[in-house]
Each structure stands twice: as C-alpha cells, then as structure tokens.
Homo-oligomer: A and B are copies of this chain.
C-alpha cells in the first residue's frame, strides 16, 4: 500500500517517513511540498539520501490519488481543511495530523485557531483518532483527525479515573512540559538554540489551542462540561512531552487502587504502560516509540491524585498514532510497524 505525505519537509513528515520505512504493509508513495517542489527530499535531509529518492511534488489530487492508497496530512493548521476534501472526493482515506478536523464546533475552532474552520460536512464526517479510546469508530473512518500531542498525553492520563467519576472535575490542573519539536521546524526566537538551552519557559498560559480539544474529549467521556487549567512549558530537549496532572479525589483511594483502575482500563492496549507504585516515567523512556507511559501517586495529606503521563510528541503524539490509526482503519494489528523499543539513553 502506497502512502502519500502532504506537508513537505517538517518534522511530522520525516517522522512519517521513518515509521513507514519499517512498516510491512505501507510504504512512502509521494511526498508533497508546494514550497519546495522539484528538489529532492534528501537535499533537505541528507540522512535520507539512500532511502527517499523521489523528488518533492506539488499537490495534485488526480496524480496523488492514482499513485497512492492512503494520505497523511502533516500540514500547518488551516491547510488540510482545504485539501482533505479533494482527496476524500477521490475516495482516499485521509489521516490529518493537524488540528483542522479535531474540534466538532466550528466556532470554537475559529476562536482558538484564528483561522476559518473546515466545512461542517467534513467536520461531521471526521473521526477523532485517540486510538485507545475510539478504536471502534476508527475502524470505519475515512477521514481521521489525529489527536494533538498534548491532548494525547493528557486524555490518556485522565480518562480512566475521570470516567469513573472519582475526580472533582473542576479541580483538574495540567502542567505540561514539551520539547522543542512540538513547535515544528519553523524559525522563531523561541526555537533559537541559545534562548532554549539551559532554560525553561512557560508560554500560552490558559491560551493554548489544545485546551478545547482536551475538554471536548473529557466531555465526551463524562457527559459533563469540564474546564481545565492547562499550562505549557518549553524545556530544553528535542522530543518528548510530560504532562503532570493534579486533581482532587472525591473520596480517598490509595495509589495501589488507582494503579489497578488504570491497569484494568488499559489491559488490552499495549501502547499504554502503567507504572507500579513509586515509579514514574521520564520522557526519554518512550523516546522514538509509540508508548504512552503513566505514573500515579495519591498524596494522603491532600487527597490529591498526581498523574505523570509521557509520550514522544512526534510518535504517539503525531506520526506514530497516525500509523496506529492507519493500522486500525485497515484491519491490521494496531502494533504493526510500531514495536520498536525506545531509544535509551
């Protein structure tokens, strides 16, 4: 099966290339970059010189649909909302790694993203691809909205306990720490090495566009309106997200019991690994892999639960979950091509 990648030479694209290269049933067909069409992919990334030989193409729905079976969009927000419909019309399955089809509410999209939203017809059709939670819906999806990196780490860490109704929903606070690739390869002062190195930076306090996405998932899972506090921090690393999440328990539950709840919830989900008592994951322990590792701690002094959830933002937070979703959509084992051990250290 041939896969087209729309989105040129960003980090999302090369991560898709890296993962498709080891997938037994899919391979890279076309790579589209309107701004760099004609030049070779390996001119931009010399480390791919012997691997990706085809040149970058412009977006051409006819040619793309002839030469490919599935289409991954790794485009900036506001792009795939325009391009996805053209491929859907050609009958191609589309997996969108951007935020364009994640929010069902078009107005909310516009207010957080400051772009025009996608056409409501496609918004309705889009399936939100949090693989562990919506696998049934994903099986038949033709347009898949791949979750954001922060929402993936956050919701996988919250759902098991929040869904049980054990948590005061108003008390949820998420302190997220991300590596720099989360912001892509674009050049800004906040990606300049000397500004990031040996530094920690809080940004977009209460204003991150992933907030409505997280709240939509929590609302879907609980049936309640939930407003979270969500703070993002840039830390000096290339990849990785850690979400440290704090919430009040309605009644006291021990750490052991909380772990048991999570273990049961994720029993059949190999990519979510729950740590035993006293053990919390570091971001590097999932580097390059599709795992989401979760550590849990209840503080009896305050009856507050702390959840530590980590992912590689480019894998489980982007390209890896996209492949996982493609596996589910095609009826393959969801682990296909994704069983690599994290690169440690």
In contact, B22 and A339 (Cβ under 8 angstroms): yes
Mask: chain A, 313-345; 1 = CB below 8 Å from B; 0 = not: 000000000000000000000000001111111
Least distance between A234 CB and chain B CB atoms (Å): 9
From B194, B306, B341, A238 is in contact (CB under 8 Å) with B194
CB pair B246–A229 under 8 Å, yes or no, is: yes
Q: Is A185 an interface residue (CB 8 A)?
A: yes
Establish whether residues B238 and A197, one from each chain, have CB atoms under 8 Å apart when the complex forms.
Answer: yes
Report the Cα distance A303→B339, complex, angstroms.
43
Complex Cα gap A259–B123 (Å): 41
Residue interface mask A269-283, B partner, CB < 8 A = 1: 010010100011111
Does B343 lie within 8 Å of A288, measured CB to CB?
yes
Does A80 make an interface contact (CB < 8 A)? no
- With a CB–CB cut-off of 8 A, which chain B residues contact A270? 50
Give A86 to B41 CA distance when docked, in angstroms. Answer: 49
The 0/1 profile, CB within 8 Å of B marked 1, for residues 237-264 of chain A is 1111010101000000000000000000
Q: How many copies does the complex hold?
A: 4
Closest 6 A-B residue pairs measured CB to CB? A47-B285, A199-B284, A206-B299, A187-B187, A175-B175, A194-B345
Interface residues, chain A, with chain B CB atoms under 8 Å away: 11, 14, 17-18, 21-22, 45-51, 170-171, 173, 175, 177, 179-181, 185, 187-189, 191-203, 205-206, 227-229, 231, 233, 235-240, 242, 244, 246, 270, 273, 275, 279-288, 291, 293, 295, 297, 299, 301-302, 304, 306, 308, 310, 339-345
Further pairs besides A21-B340, A173-B173, A177-B200: 17, Cβ < 8 Å: A11-B194, A22-B341, A171-B171, A180-B193, A180-B194, A185-B189, A187-B188, A187-B189, A197-B197, A197-B345, A199-B283, A201-B282, A227-B301, A227-B302, A239-B345, A288-B288, A340-B340
List 20 A-B pairs, Cβ < 8 Å.
A14-B344, A18-B344, A22-B339, A47-B341, A49-B275, A173-B173, A173-B246, A179-B194, A181-B194, A187-B188, A187-B192, A193-B196, A195-B345, A197-B198, A197-B236, A202-B242, A205-B280, A205-B308, A206-B299, A236-B236
